[in-house]
Amino acid sequence: MNAIVKELEQDKALMGEWFEHMHRHPELSMKEEKTAKFIEETLRSFGAYEIETGVGKFGIVASMKVGDSDKAIGLRADFDALPIQEVNNLPYKSETPGVAHLCGHDGHTTMLLAAAKHLAETKNFNGTVRLIFQPAEETMQGSPAMIEDGLFERFPVDAVFGMHNMPGLEKGKLYFTEGDTMAAVDNWEVEITGKGGHGAFPELAVDPVVAGSSLVMALQTIVARNVAPSHSAVVTVGAFQAGQAGNVIAHSAILRLSIRTTTPEDRKTVLGNVRRLVQQQSESFGCTAEIREGVPGAVLTNDPEETRKAARIARDAFGEDEVFEDGPTYLGSEDFAFMLQKRKGTYCFLGNGDTRFVHHPEFVFDKDILPIGAAYWVALTEGYLR
């Protein structure tokens, strides 16, 4: 076992307490007031950091300088939850109906807190470490909000690093990928408006559910017939909400879309076709439509040099068999992509083993990997700030 992991194993019970507290009390994106307060109080208990709160609403940056070097590193963890009902039978199951940490952000924050405690106790580096605790990753709001609030101007770093647990990858192993690694996502909401009425008199109404149903099917032709088979893209309608009763024709319908692309050209093509089909399909059924666009998407691109450097540090710390450099790519998205547009760095994956995938109501973050993730942050800080 890695020496740093052995040391962090001594705090495993404390990590479990932090993790289980956050898991029991999840908060949705840009509503993480209590979680942010918990993170702040935990950081203050270490007594070594300059702590700035309210960065991008609920973001926190904790900084500690050791020695005389001007070099600085940023380590980022997210802490928002998802609007999903957890169905796991865990002793620390979410206590908030319809909201749960089913992506592992509670684990990510726990690992960075554990690293913060260890770094404060050992101070085995020369330079400045900045711990970035970010809200609202799930809605792609948190990273842009912190950047707009002057994240890198107020808290300069030479490079910034992120990490995500990943089901399906070997438990406890670290995976690094150079270049484009995760897709750009555009989260759009479409409202189709018709004319409500009685279900027995459809001729007196204009049914947005029929228009929306046709649109759902039409949207599935975009990738199949407009994106090269060698490329990756997806258009998902994750929510379709209309009406309350079977004998009432709804006045309007809401569709929520997740649109994922991996090149700027494909993004332009796909988004253009979504706009066209929304308008044309709605009009063909006598309805009108409004598109409400979310934060513009960005592909997560890892800097090759920083990726190799981080992987080398990880290999030195954990051993050759624990680190993979030919890592995977995903159509999943990450708003850490926006930070990597501003500063060089890399985003790696930590294997969560054979579990349900993230965002599944039965996903379980494996607490055994908490010391490993924390040890990676410590090793990266010590290796980068020698």
The span from the CA of 347 to the CA of 164, in Å, is 8
The span from the CA of 221 to the CA of 208, in Å, is 20
Q: Torsion over CA of 125, 374, 135 and 270, rounded to 10 degrees?
A: 100
Question: Tokens 């479409």 identify what position?
Answer: 190
284 C-beta neighbours (distance < 10 Å), count? 12
- Collapse the DSSP code of 157 into the 3-class scheme (helix H, G, I; strand E, B; otherwise coil) and give the result: coil
Strands, E assignment, the chain: 50-55, 59-66, 72-78, 127-134, 159-167, 174-175, 179-182, 184-193, 197-198, 233-241, 248-249, 252-261, 288-293, 300-302, 323-324, 345-353
- Collapse the DSSP code of 64 into the 3-class scheme (helix H, G, I; strand E, B; otherwise coil) and give the result: strand
Residue numbering of the annotated binding site for Mn(2+):
103, 105, 138, 164, 359
Residue numbering of the annotated binding site:
103, 105, 138, 164, 359
Instruction: Enter the tokens of residue 140.
Output: 């792609």
Sequential DSSP letters for 102-140:
-SSHHHHHHHHHHHHHHHHHH--SSEEEEEEEE--TTTT
Sorted by sequence, the CB contacts under 8 Å of residue 292 that are 6+ apart come out as 188, 189, 190, 191
* Radius of gyration of the chain, Cα coordinates, nearest whole angstrom: 23
Instruction: Check if the beta carbon of residue 101 is closer than 8 Å to that of residue 25.
Output: no
Instruction: Enter the tokens of residue 314.
Output: 């990880």
Sign for the CA dihedral angle at 295, 296, 297, 300 comes to: negative
